[in-house]
Structure 1
Amino acid sequence: MSLCVDIHKKLGGFSLDMQAEFPDAPTAVIGASGSGKSMLLRCIAGIVVPDRGHIALGEKTWYDSTARTCLPPQRRHAGYLFQQYALFENRTVAGNIMMGMRGTKQEKQQACRALMERFQLTALAEHRPAQLSGGQKQRTALARMLGAQPEVLLLDEPFSALDTHLRGEVRQQMAEVLARHVGVSLLVTHDFSEAMQLCSRAAVVSGGRIVEQGSCIDLWHNPKTRACAELTGMRNFFPLPDGMQPNDSAPCCLGIRPEDLRPACGGDTVTVSGTVQRMLPGIHTDQAIVQTSHGMLLWTVPHDADSPPQAGDPVMLSADPDRFHILKIDKT
């Protein structure tokens, strides 16, 4: 069943206006800091009440401002993984995991043992959160969330509190959790590569609105908005040349990825000229920072380039026509 969301929430000078239908598939909610993605999860979970709108999982209404329906969080059966895990410091690992479980004491203990074995926590059963590493806290929070047998998983930037060397390990476990869950899963992140590794679909959030939705692969190859393009790693944006403005009146710009740029050649219809300001060496490629009339441009230069540029060189760059992207500029 799908999760349907149509809500409005005013927070000071910020407005959240979200309309989306999330299917039975892992979906990344991706956006820059302050875009509203975490607030969306809090509204879905019932932690924050919208000003108006509707939230429903299948035929079950969770929130409806017109009907004055607002189920409390515990009746929504949504598992929420907080950025900082929100473990109970006065409880052991086993005690935290059993929080929210339903059933007899024996059934809870049996389910807890199974989850501790699944997440390699058995030896830590009597430890308290202060005695755990970041990865161990993450696994404990995951086990606690799954112990309540939620219908919907809400994961709020689950790797943000982890050191870089732990993220790969925990990411594998998260991929397994998402693959085994039957139902809606929403993963909040600002990292598009993380979204692609863990989710088949994504919703791009900018300025409190969902501006694009689709498969992660399609959004990577064919972004329609600057907000989405920036999240996928596109760094170069220019005013549209004459004749390229779409028929609708929405303001647009031209985007190009650093790795898609090359020296211009005869027949190129779109070119940009500038001067190399600095070369940044890399393992497989170098990065050229080029000053143009539209600002700084980033150009990825292969190590085997015929004539690698040097600081101070004038350059004229272009790309194959299908590498240029016409992008709507979001009104935030």
Structure 2
Amino acid sequence: MKRRTFLAGSGGVVAWPSLARAQKVPRVGYVVAGDPEPGWTLFRKAMADLGYVQGRSITYEYAAIGGDAANADALVAPLVRRPVDLIVAVFTPAIAAARRATTTIPIVFSGGGALDTGMLRNIARPEANLTGVFNPAAALAGKAIELFREIKPATRLLGVVANQPDPFHVVMMGAVEAAAKAGKFDVAPVFIRSADELGPAIDMLAARRVDGVLVQPSVGLQAAAVNAMRHRLPAFSFRRGIAESGGLFSYSPDNAEVTRILAGYVDKVLKGTRIADLPAQELAHFELVVNLKTARTLGLTPSAMFLNRADEVIE
């Protein structure tokens, strides 16, 4: 299912970097790939905690790319034309599209792909108009595979759903191939270009009798979990949404922590801080969420040691 949402707020146009001197309400664009929630709600709450009242001291313009990364440019372009005063970009397709669309509007991002794909080159002193919070996403993919093999140590063939229009898929597949070589198992990757291809991709992997499926987050984790369960396939990823939607587990950043950091960056930029003076921040804390209900449905039994390491167990 394609999700393309655009909600326009009202507010004045303010030129960066003189935002702190503006008298009109700043307008912030928020563009996200993959599943928009809970990040969108958490971000607005974090901004409210900093004193920003929607419609009075800030307005938002929201664009959801969903699993259709190829459409990212078309969804970001209206934000730049208005223009918004700042763009929050979540996940690599959104970051890449925002970066292509503007070199002047400040961009605050969340996602490992900005560093892994070379869009962010200077962490300590960001260049141009891009800074934010990143995670070692390629390493997280490798760790997620390691955790899956603790649950299914006899894994011989691992399915992977990769989002081809998302630049991060190349980096992710490198991590997957390295894990496969070290673990002496084979990989069955399927590269999709739109959300419509997700269901057929998982059908194909089920036909190949894969032991499990690693899902790239930007394809849409809710739909991936539902489709995997149709075939009784354990699905996992390095974003929490897969576990919450019925997948086996996730190993990922803490969404609440990420959005608090994002809101802090936005607050500073709106008050006049230059992007170059806001070092990008690497996340150091990650959480393991295990869906024990799904494990039982699939006939899997995570060890007590595995469950004791989990930050959250869904039953």
Greater fraction of residues in strand: 1
TM-score, length of structure 1 as denominator length: 0.28
TM-score, length of structure 2 as denominator length: 0.29
Greater fraction of residues in helix: 2
